[in-house]
Amino acid sequence: MDWNYWLPLVFLGLLGFSMTLYVVLDGFDLGVGMLLPRADGDEQNVMVGSIGPFWDANETWLVLGVGVLFIVFPHAHNLILGQLYLPVTFMLFALIARGAAFDFRVKADDNHKQLWNITFMLGSAGMALAQGWMLGRYITAFGTDMGDYLFALGIMATVPAVYALLAACWLIAKTEGALQQKARLWAHQAWWPVVLCLLLISLATPWVSPTVFARWFTLPNLLWLLPIPVLSVLCLVRAKQLLYRDEVLQPTRMWQPFALVIATLVLCALGLGISLFPYVVIDEMTVWQAAATTPTLVVTLIGVCITVPCIIAYSIFAYWAFRGKATNLTYG
């Protein structure tokens, strides 16, 4: 086996896996933060309670992804983080504000609780916007044309909309009563912006990148890759159908919209990976050019073989232990 060839591919898969899990897991709790002002006081407590046991652990996947990028692909790390220094800094400040607000809102008196709720919402929205901008700039290979910046703005608008839809579907499954009905309405409202943004981005991506255009719109690639957008459309349409029906509130159905939105995000991540491969930075640096030395990759592989299963096991245990409907988050 040629370790110089296969080890970078293994870590590229791990990087894609960790970042996709981060988007899915932290996406819904960021979305809950953005939806917080649309609920009343007691409902806000239940919403925060629905993500309380998970939100900080969800960010572990972001730390893992950045760690893999730093250790395994140091050349790409220098290029990417050098280009994204300001939005990364902004995201970190938003993360700090969000974390502080999450804890302080529980113990604040009535005069200050709303201030912390607003801070929590702004921190969540700030993180989503920063992630969207960084993703857009990354896909355009940090181009400086006006179209590149407009594309990044489009992604920046899409990510919060997707997170809001994901969060609303999460709340349908985790809440009940009036809040559950509100979550259903929020999901209805978020569905249209998500579909519109994803459609525009799908059309614009080949336009901003000739490499992506060649990957998707040449035969026989077009025939092989067509199932990805088709399945994405079917998942979103099915989610919308379920949201229209009262049966979505039944225990056997309430998780289905959330699962369908997750499936859509996984398909989008798969499509993005296919569009970029074999580049870590499109048209600039391949996975093998960006990779560290083979001994470094071997030692790192031993480490991730120990840590990643532990992270997965803990995450599964946490979601299983705190299954069921959410309640108010309180501290003793």
At residue 58, the pLDDT reads: 83
* H or E segment and range at residue 279: strand 279-281
pLDDT tier for residue 52 given thresholds of 50, 70 and 90: confident
pLDDT in tens, 86-110: 999 999 999 999 988 888 877 767 6
Which pLDDT does position 153 carry in this prediction?
92
* In the chain, where the domains are located: 3-321
Is residue 308 predicted with pLDDT exceeding 80? yes
How is 86-124 classified by DSSP, letter by letter?
A: HHHHHHHHHHHHHHHHHHHHHHS-HHHHHHHHHHHHHHH
Token pair for 128: 């989503």
pLDDT in tens, 128-179: 999 999 999 998 888 888 888 998 999 999 999 999 999 999 999 998 888 9
Closest CA to 114 of 122, 237, 93: 122
For range 257-280, the mean pLDDT: 91
Q: How far, CA to CA in Å, does 195 sit from each of 12, 236, 261? A: 29, 8, 11
Helices in the chain by DSSP H: which ranges?
Answer: 3-35, 41-51, 55-58, 60-72, 74-83, 85-107, 110-139, 146-174, 178-208, 210-216, 221-225, 227-244, 256-276, 287-290, 294-321
- Name the residue among 286, 320, 282, 298 with its Cα closest to residue 139: 282
Kindly report the CA angle at 262 between 22 and 43, in degrees rounded to 5? Answer: 85
Residue type, 330: T
Write out the two tokens for 249. 């509130």
Residue labelled with tokens 């007691």: 42
In this predicted structure, the answer to whether residue 332 has a pLDDT above a threshold of 60 is no
Q: Which of 54-58, 63-67, 85-89 comes out lowest in average pLDDT?
A: 54-58
The Cα angle at residue 294 between residues 289 and 298, in degrees rounded to 5: 130
| Cα dist from 9 to 15, 215, 266, whole Å | 10, 19, 19
CA–CA gap between residue 181 and residue 165 (Å, rounded) = 14
- pLDDT of 239 > 80? The answer is yes
User: Within 13 Å, how many C-alpha atoms sit on residue 73's CB side?
Assistant: 28
Count CB-CB contacts under 10 A for residue 219. 7
